Chain A
């Protein structure tokens, strides 16, 4: 650990934001709640541009959603006077929830992406203070046929390519994976091989319920997907996907994480099934591959012996340390941290509201 400020873990919940700090990623001091009684479905820790900026996509049940930021680790928050993220008036739409806040590559400081409900993708060029709707995806001819998962219809995963600033992958529920290679001017569905068993035609061009995608650290054309049943990998930037679910106790779940620097390494947290959204046998475990999904290893050291709460799609994250830290929270309000790439965990917090998102960074 070389970061002078240690590790910061941001925990977004159903009723506010908590911040945890640690020097060794084993013992943690937790502060909060910030944004009490606000749902926090998205958070980002942007360490580019020589500062640590916290971005939160908050939503009040009464007063609606917005994006706010803090440059002093949550002591004060700035909500842009005119609102950070608002649909243009001609769209006739209104932001319901900010599902994703994703800083772009390190060499593109200032660029931050947002994924929202209704299904839409937004880009900020000023560090998340103002976002602009991506019109090409909003006007996509498929949009009338995109649907809503249980949690709402949202673009929940945005994976910019560090190798090519014009290439971005987006995943939505339901709709599947879409890719732009021209900087967002056009988008094409990229779901061949991903099943949509809940549709009359189980292999459609689009309509899949992809729960999360993550890009490989070393091969930019390689991505991983946790689907609504199905775990997949693509080696051709989404043109085709193949199953990598063999070796997992279940192919259902929400989480997909990739290593920040090492190719072929990814983590999932399986749940038993669509109709039984609990850890298999009530035993919570993280599964890691180091060979691109050919084999998986189960880890549960330090985790509760019994757990019947799910881990949601953004309630898991990695940091950029070596060895990499792995973090996740449950809908039961427990948060776990691993300082050894998932091999063992220690508890960060318990009895919080439902954990909706976590993000970690060295500061």
Chain B
């Protein structure tokens, strides 16, 4: 379900588990957040998000926005574009090198959101 927390260690950091380990994992993907976005996700670093068949990265962000609108705003702007210095990796591949927000997302995949190098 959107926003469901996964397992956490004593340090509060989520421990990696494959999405297949999650109860009812069919149709869910794992979203891993950078520490800077934990507050915007209600204190969670890892989120399991249920998606419909044929869902895309944009659909995933729509679902995140329903549960955590502040988190979604930080990842993309209101026109739907990924923010310039935010990178979204799908199983290790940056989605801009795939099909961007239209990139298909399959159950069990991991979406890792990271801030890129920026600022001065």
Contact = CB atoms under 8 A, between A and B. Distances in A.
A5 interface: no
Interface stretch (A16-24, A57-65, A308-316): A57-65
A79 interface: yes
Contacts of B83: 62-64
Contacts of A93: 78-79
B118 interface: yes
A73 to B, nearest CB: 22
Contacts, number: 51
Contact of A62 (B70, B78, B115): B115
A277 B79 CA distance: 36
Given A81-B69, A81-B70, A83-B69, A62 B86 contact: yes
Contacts of A305: none
B74 A61 contact: no
Contacts of A272: none
Contact of A87 (B36, B37, B79, B85): B79
A79 B86 contact: no
A64 B75 CA distance: 8
Q: How large is the interface on A (under 10, 10 to 19, 20 to 34, 35 or more residues)?
A: 10 to 19
B77 interface: yes
A182 to B, nearest CB: 28
B43 interface: no
Contacts of B78: 83, 86-87, 89, 93-95
A95 B83 CA distance: 11
B81 interface: yes
Interface residues of B, number: 18
B106 interface: no
A219 interface: no
B86 A63 contact: yes
Nearest to B40: A63
Contact of B74 (A64, A81, A82, A86): A64
Interface in A74-129: 79, 81-83, 86-87, 89, 91-95
Interface string B59-97: 000000000011001110111010101100000000000
A173 interface: no
B119 interface: yes
Contacts of A66: 73
Contact of A63 (B69, B74, B79, B81): B74
A62 B79 contact: no
A37 B36 CA distance: 12
B85 A62 contact: yes
B89 to A, nearest CB: 15
Given A63-B83, A63-B86, A37 B119 contact: yes
A91 B75 CA distance: 19
Given A86-B78, A93-B79, A95-B78, A61 B69 contact: no
A70 B76 CA distance: 25
Contact of A94 (B81, B118, B119): B81
Contact of A95 (B37, B75, B77): B77
A82 B69 contact: yes
A87 to B, nearest CB: 5
Contacts of B73: 63-64, 66, 83, 86
8 closest Cβ contacts across the A-B interface? A94-B77, A63-B74, A62-B115, A94-B79, A86-B78, A61-B118, A61-B119, A62-B85
9 contacts: A61-B85, A63-B37, A63-B83, A64-B74, A66-B73, A81-B70, A93-B79, A94-B78, A94-B79
Given A62-B83, A62-B119, 8 more contacts: A60-B74, A63-B36, A63-B83, A64-B77, A79-B70, A83-B73, A87-B79, A89-B79
Interface of A: 37, 60-64, 66, 79, 81-83, 86-87, 89, 91-95
Interface of B: 36-37, 69-70, 73-75, 77-79, 81, 83, 85-86, 115-116, 118-119
